[in-house]
């Protein structure tokens, strides 16, 4: 049974939402990914949000752009945590999405990560789940240690090469 629901308003959100799925997979957390438009198919959306608890979801990660009502509407119906991911938009750079998600009325909270913050949304979901799962907590601690090792390896490379060679290597990678 999936513990996390990942829902997005459009397939254009897929690259960001895939980052969330990748992190959940790395941590061994089951999820279900769905595309639902809160505006274009409200009946399907309401069925999804009303049935999420029965499906076994403990957290919903909802990504949306522009008016970005999907996370807030999930939070209005689903009684457990909802994490909103504001999507970058061409017109306002994602600020429209961010404001729509973060400015929820009193009583309907949505945890909100950075614009296009798919990986952080998954990590926040994992941390919520880890409050009652010691094995997952251990995986999160190991994940944090791996981040530390990555930074230390980069610094060691910088110290060995000097900043000019390091920067040139970064430019070649892309």
Residue 147 half-sphere exposure toward CB, CA atoms < 13 A: 7
CA distance 139 to 127: 10
> Facing residues of 59 across strands?
4
Buried b (16+ CB within 10 A) or exposed e, 125-163: bbebbbeebeebeebbeeeeeeeeeeeeeeeeeeeeeee
- Tell how far CA 77 is from the center of its chain: 19
Rounded to 5°, angle at Cα 87 from 68 and 49: 45
Dihedrals phi, psi of 160, to nearest 5 degrees: -70, -40
- What percentage of the chain exceeds 90 in pLDDT? 96
Residue 68 gets the label, from left (phi > 0), alpha (psi -120 to 50) or beta, of left
For residues 147, 150, 155, 160, the Cα torsion angle rounded to the nearest 10 degrees is 170
pTM value?
A: 0.94
Question: Mean pLDDT for the chain?
Answer: 96
Q: Which CATH number fits domain 4-132: 3.40.366.10, 3.40.50.1970, 1.20.1090.10, 3.30.70.260?
A: 3.40.50.1970
What pLDDT is stored for residue 2 in this prediction? 84
Mean pLDDT in residue range 74-90: 97
9 has a pLDDT exceeding 80: yes
Residue with tokens 């070649």: 172
What pLDDT is stored for residue 99 in this prediction? 95
């Amino acid at each position: 049974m999936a513990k996390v629901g990942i829902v997005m308003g459009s397939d254009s959100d897929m690259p960001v939402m895939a980052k969330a799925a990748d992190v959940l997979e790395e941590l061994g957390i089951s999820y279900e990914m769905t595309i639902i438009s809160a505006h274009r198919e409200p009946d399907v959306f309401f069925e999804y949000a009303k049935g999420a608890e029965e499906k076994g979801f403990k957290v919903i990660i909802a990504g949306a752009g522009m008016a970005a009502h999907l996370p807030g509407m999930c939070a209005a119906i689903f009684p457990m945590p909802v994490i909103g991911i504001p999507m970058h938009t061409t017109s306002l750079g994602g600020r429209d999405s961010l404001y729509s998600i973060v400015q929820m009325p009193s009583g309907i909270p949505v945890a909100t990560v950075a614009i296009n913050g798919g990986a952080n949304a998954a990590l926040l979901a994992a941390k919520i789940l880890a409050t009652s799962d010691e094995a997952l907590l251990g995986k999160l601690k190991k994940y944090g240690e791996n981040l530390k090792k990555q930074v230390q390896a980069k610094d060691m490379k910088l110290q060995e090469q000097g900043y000019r060679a390091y920067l040139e290597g970064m430019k070649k990678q892309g």
